[in-house]
Amino acid sequence: MHFTSITAGLVQLFGGLVASMLIPGFIQSLKAKLQGRVGPGSLQPYRDLRRLWNKSTVSVSNSTLTYRIAPSVVATSMGLAVLVVPVSSLGPNWGVGHDAFVLGGVLALSRLALVLAAWDTRNGFSLMAASRDLTISIFTETAMLISLSVAALVAGSTDMQVMISRISLFHVWSSPAPSLALAAFSLVVIAETGHQPVDNPDTHLELTMIHEGMTLEYAGRDLAMLQWSGGVKHWIMLVMLSEIFLPHFQNAYLQLLCLPLTVIAICIILAIVESTIVKMRLLNVPRFLGLGTILAFMGILALKVPS
Amino acid sequence: MIFDILLLSLAVIFIGGGLVLVKQLFKLAFFVQSFGSLLLTIVGIFVVASREDSGAQFTDKFHPQFGIDPLSGLFLIVLGIVAIPVLVFSGSYLDSDSKRDRVIACLSAAFIIILAGTVCARDPITLLGGWELMTIIPASIILIAHGNDKSVRRSGFIYVAITHIGGVGTWIAVILLAKYGVMGGGTHLHEGSPIQIAIVLSSLIGMGTKAGLMPMHVWLPRAHPAAPAPVSALMSGVMINIPIYLLIRVLVYWCRPLPVWVGIVVLTLGAVSAVGGVVYALFERQLKKLLALSSIENMGIITLGLGASLALTAHGKNDWAAIALAAALLHIINHSIFKSLLFLSAGTFEKTAKQLHIDRLSGLVHSLPVVGVSFFIGVMAISGLPPLNGFISEWLTIQSLIHVSTYGNFADGTIGAISLVAMAATVTLALFCFTKVIGLVLLGKEQFPRKKESSDSLLMGISTLFLALLCIILGLIPALYFGRLMQIAPWSSNKVSLLVLNLPGTGSLSPLCLGAILISGTFVLFLLRSNRSAKAAPTWLCGQKLTSKLYWSGSGFTKPARMILEPIIRPTRKITRVEELGITQSIEYEGEVPHLIESKLYSPISTWFMKVATIIRRVQSGSLGSYAAYLIGLIFVLLIAFRLGIL
């Protein structure tokens, strides 16, 4: 195997499985600085994980295996998603390939597990969150699939490694399609990672939360797995944004070198957005994400207009 | 030789169908029939695998001919593989003591034979005869089962009426095909010739109606739930695939080459049905009706694959056209498996809970563990989750649609993109809809006392588990059979590799690897998690006790979606508040999501027809004198016309 491939594989595994929790941690600490608070450090999520890992879990009365197994399913599918999303145009296949729509299926599986866990415990708050999450997901997933389709049309393949290498070419950007897909996917990133203005990751007020709500019934190792999965989801989305949709280098090493820088830059933007924009009303979220779908759709049209 | 085995298997089913009328042989008869269905499946598999035709070829002549080719073989597999568990299930679902149930069992055997006959028909007259019987037999089963119920009689009437009005399209198409010698393969129609367009449009209307494509679907959510569970499973699992079979014959085999706009029309029909079906399924409260609406959605997905194939053939992209067609065929197989599984499970739920209102079923997995788990797997498959079979065919359909966008010009490229949006929305809405179903029906606190395990529920468990296992197996090894499906297309295409679906222009899909990682990872994490002590606690509800009154209902769960879609689906609601001395005593809430196509499109047409009929009826006074007057009047008119030289 080529040396570049091995490096990329290591970055993919280390970044996705280990370092990904730094992203929400960094955004939190940055937000605290922006708001004039001292706040926790970037490593706080890891301390939380250690604390949770040593605590006992909860067995909710009348619940079935669905509730108990859900965090494991969520964490496994997120781990699988790390393998599916490549970090550079070269890299190991891991036997699962790098297809963009396989990723969609894997993310859907994790969503199903959490929603069913909410139904299993019949916790009203979890169900409220699940209902909202699914409603928003109709629009998020559509916008995500369409922006990935634009990338696939530009690259001529739905393989994300091919997307990375083709979209790195300079002439591709002469068409408005990649820029429109970038705009659309940025909105998707905000919604999928649960940041303002779609969701507020800091809130613990039942009536406003979405992603937080579904973890309410969990404690100990279960909660640790769910929080880790949240970090991994940040990683997946940010890697896709910076490697596929943002302009990037053609050389695999330069791609790998630039990855941390772009991720940090996106974190800063997310922190600024979160500190300056208020959360929008739930019923306005579809409009926000619908805009994403329309932008990406215009990207496809831009590729199809006879010139 | 293989054709003789086909006849033998039908004869076995026929004998089983006769034996079922004898009370003492009731169960045995079902096993005889399922053996016949097994033979049917083997015949199908053999024909698809060997790619050999057997029996007669298609002819334009009007005398009965039967034969099999790989496309018919595929639909025989679908029929057989659904019929086996359905028949085993019927053995315990239907009651051998009830004469009515015995007649239903006999008719369902006839239904299976007719379905096989329609698929193997090789001449216009058998094809049309099978087509009509395919409608009439389930209609009579519905009437026999619930004929006392006025609303069911009404559903039966609407079913027969709409499928017959739509069926005219099929008659026109088939007769035109026979008349111009297209069916026998003697002549080829020119691209875009008036006859070709007439055939295509009338078959889209005729077969689209029977397949339940929107906006011709109104009969489907009424008829399918009205039948007994095994017959519903046959209707949703097999019957509605037959029009798709004919559509593939007409559009892909007989009428080639087609202009690009046919692909666009088919894609549009598919996109509308997929999204429309799942949206109404999301807000439906009766389980079997919900499943029927979801069949419309799945027919839409199949039609999207077919449309993609047509659009890609028009651009000469034969490889991808074959993949798109195979994706549609694969989704037919998959849908028939998980939909019959879900309908059979719904039948078991109905037996246990005596009703199917999803808000009033709860915790059924406790009293029906085997059927419950199978239902769970079926739901995961229909929601398109890896590594189950639904995911594979939906992934392939999405890939085909992307390629329509890639190769198409502005018009079909755009429709391809719109279909992609529709497909994405369908997949997520289906997840929404079916998580609601599992949550309400299977999970939560048990509402009904556990019944004693008996051999009856064993048969039900075996048949649903068989289908659930098929969902898993077909999901894990798609590459083993996908190449065969691609070869069903009448043009040649490249083969795909084994074990991993490595199609050109995609990242590869290796379900075995995905499944292995998902299962082993979950297992390891679950072990890690379980070696910690767990504290028993009630559901946290701010200190309140969770009672069934605080349970979420399906309408509550889907409310955000209903509010967002309000401008399109126009839900209605009525709140009645009873007040006494300024204190609210009780609140009544009524909400409904009306089916707009019925109320805005079909109701005006039927009211208009009734009005015209009332006017015309005045002519029929019933008295002899007035009819004599009509005759005299007619003679006068004729005489005047003769005088004036018109005649």
Kindly indicate the confidence band of residue A82, based on its pLDDT and cuts at 50, 70 and 90. very high
Q: Which helix (H) or strand (E) holds B537?
A: strand B534-537
Here the tokens at position A73 are 């399913």
Percentages of chain B per state (helix, strand, coil), in multiples of 5? 70, 5, 25
Beta bridge partners of A58: B535
End-to-end CA distance of chain B, in Å? 63
Check whether B501 has a pLDDT greater than 80: no
Closest alpha carbon to B201 in B243, B178, B240, B170: B170
- Find the largest Cα–Cα distance for chain B: 107
B538·A61 Cβ contact <8 A: yes
Count contacts between A and B (CB, < 8 Å). Answer: 253
CB nearest B522 (choices: A66, A73, A286):
A73
Residue B22 has pLDDT above 50, yes or no: yes
Q: Is A307 an interface residue toward B (CB < 8 Å)?
A: no
Amino acid at the residue B38: L
Q: Are B478 and B573 contained in the same domain?
A: no
Q: What is the pLDDT of residues B260-313, one digit of tens each?
A: 899 999 999 999 999 999 999 999 999 999 999 999 999 999 999 999 999 999
Return the pLDDT at B524.
93
Does A138 sit within 8 Å of B428, measured CB to CB?
A: yes
In a domain, B574, yes or no: yes
**Cβ of B178 under 8 Å from any chain A Cβ?**
no
The token duo for A124 is 């009203």
Distance between CA B252 and CA B243 in Å, rounded?
A: 13
CA angle B357, B352, B219 (to 5 degrees): 45
B570 and B612 together in one domain: no
DSSP category for residue B170: H
Cβ contact, residue pair B537, A109, below 8 Å: no
Residues whose CB is less than 8 angstroms from the CB of residue B183 and which lie 6 or more positions away in sequence, other chains included: B58, B59, B60, B123, B124, B174, B177, B254
Q: Which of B266-275, B518-527, B564-573 has the lowest mean pLDDT?
A: B564-573
pLDDT at B315: 87
Looking at the structure, tell me whether residues B511 and B567 fall in a common domain: no
Closest CA to B9 of B89, B57, B62, B73: B73
Let me know the angle formed at the C-alpha of A25 by A21 and A26, rounded to the nearest 5 degrees.
115
**Residue B222 maps to a domain:** no
CB contact under 8 A, B420 and A156: no
Query: Do B448 and B587 sit in the same domain of this protein?
Result: no
Tokens standing for residue B200: 């295509």
Q: Which residue has the tokens 């949703």?
A: B236
Exposure on the CB side of residue A137, measured as CA atoms within 13 A = 26
In a domain, B324, yes or no: yes
More confident: B51 or B637:
B637
pLDDT of residue B224: 84
Whether B450 shows a pLDDT value over 60: the answer reads: no
From chain A residues 224-253, the ones with a CB under 8 A of any chain B CB are 225
pLDDT at B368 over 50: yes
What pLDDT, on a 0 to 100 scale, did the predictor assign at position A306? 66
Q: Residue A150: enclosing H or E segment and its boundaries?
A: helix A124-155
Q: Number of folded domains in chain B?
A: 3
Q: Is the pLDDT of residue B133 over 80?
A: yes
**Same domain, yes or no, for B381 and B457?**
yes
Same domain membership, residue B588 and residue B566: yes
Closest CA to B230 of B166, B159, B142, B155: B142
Instruction: Tell whether the model's pLDDT for residue B592 goes beyond 90.
Output: no
Report d(CA B161, CA A4) in Å as an integer: 67
Type and span of the H or E element at A57: strand A57-60
State which residues form the domain around A165: 3-304
pLDDT at B497 (0 to 100): 58
Q: What is the pLDDT of residue A207?
A: 67
Q: In the numeric block, which tokens belong to residue B46?
A: 């053999």
Residue range A69-95: average pLDDT? Answer: 91
Position A234 confidence tier, pLDDT thresholds 50, 70, 90 = very high
**How high is the pLDDT of residue A17?**
92
pLDDT number for residue B495: 63
With an 8 Å Cβ cutoff, is A57 touching chain B?
A: yes
Same domain, B395 and B510: yes
Burial of residue B256 (CB within 10 Å: 0-12, 13-18, 19+) is: middle
Q: What is the pLDDT of residues A116-143, one digit of tens each?
A: 999 998 888 889 889 999 999 999 999 9
Of B621 and B105, more confident: B105
**B350 & B386 share domain:** yes
How many independent structural domains does chain A possess? Answer: 1
pLDDT of B199: 92
Binding-face residues of B in 431-490 toward A, CB within 8 A: 431-432, 435, 438-440, 443-445
* Mean pLDDT comparison of A20-24, B474-478, B506-510, B534-538, highest-scoring range: A20-24
* Residue-range definition of the domain harbouring residue B624: 605-643
Q: What is the mean pLDDT of residues A56-72?
A: 89
Mutate to test the interface with B, among A83, A122, A136 (most CBs of B within 10 A): A122
Structure tokens that stand for B358 in this block = 């999803």
In a domain, residue B414? The reply is yes
Residue B2 lies in a domain: no
Do B273 and B341 reside in the same domain of the chain? yes
B77 C-beta neighbours (distance < 10 Å), count: 21
Nearest beta carbon to residue B424 from set A76, A127, A146:
A146
Mean pLDDT, rounded, for A28-46: 91
Band of pLDDT at residue B500, cut at 50, 70 and 90: low
Please tell me whether residues B586 and B610 are part of one structural domain.
no
Window 499-558 of B, Cβ < 8 Å to A: 500, 505-510, 513-514, 517-518, 521-523, 525-526, 528-530, 532-541, 546, 550-552, 556-558
Amino acid code (one letter) for A177: A
B12 lies in some domain: no
Q: What percent of chain B has pLDDT over 70?
A: 97
Q: What's the mean pLDDT in B476-482?
A: 84
| Alpha-carbon gap: B475 to the closest alpha carbon of chain A (Å) | 13
- What is the per-residue pLDDT for B351? 85
ipTM of the complex: 0.94
- Does B493 share its domain with B559? no
Neighbouring C-alpha atoms within 13 Å toward the C-beta of A30: 19
Is the model's pLDDT at B508 over the cut of 80?
no
Confidence (pLDDT) at B494: 64
With a cut of 50, say whether residue B414 has pLDDT above it.
yes
What's the average model confidence in pLDDT over B181-194?
81
For residue A63, what is the nearest residue in chain B, using CA coordinates? B444
Are B639 and B512 members of one domain? no
Q: Which position has the token pair 């024909």?
A: B47
Q: Which two tokens stand for residue B127?
A: 């094809």
Please tell me whether residue B591 adopts helix, strand or coil conformation.
strand
Q: Are B341 and B374 in contact (CB under 8 A)?
A: yes
* CB distance A271 to A27 below 8 Å: yes
**pLDDT range class, residue B602, cuts 50, 70, 90:** confident
Work out the mean pLDDT of chain B and round it to a whole number: 88
Of B249, B233, B204, B195, whose CA–CA distance to B70 is shortest?
B249
Q: How high is the pLDDT of residue B454?
A: 47
**What's the pLDDT at B283?**
92
Asked if residues A30 and A202 have their Cβ atoms less than 8 Å apart, the reply is no
In chain B, residues with a C-beta closer than 8 Å to the C-beta of A75 are 521, 525
Secondary structure, 3-state, A162-224: HHHHHHCCCHHHHCCHHHHHHHHHHHHHHHHCCCCCCCCCCCCCCCCCCCCHHHCCCCHHHHH
Tell me the β-bridge partners of B536.
Answer: A59
Query: What digits encode the pLDDT tens for the residues B36-61?
Result: 999 999 999 999 888 888 888 888 88
Q: What is the mean pLDDT of residues A250-278?
A: 90
Specify whether the CB–CB gap between A198 and A288 falls below 8 A. yes
Interface of B with A in 339-398 (CB under 8 A): 363, 365-366, 380, 383-386, 391, 395, 398
Q: How far is CA A115 from CA A10, B379, B541, B547, in A?
A: 33, 14, 17, 20
pLDDT of residue B455: 44
Give which of A51, A53, A109, A225 to mutate to test B binding, by max B Cβ within 10 Å: A109
Residue B478 lies in a domain: yes
Residues B232-264: pLDDT tens digits? 999 999 999 999 999 999 999 888 888 889 999
| Residues of chain B above pLDDT 90, percent | 43
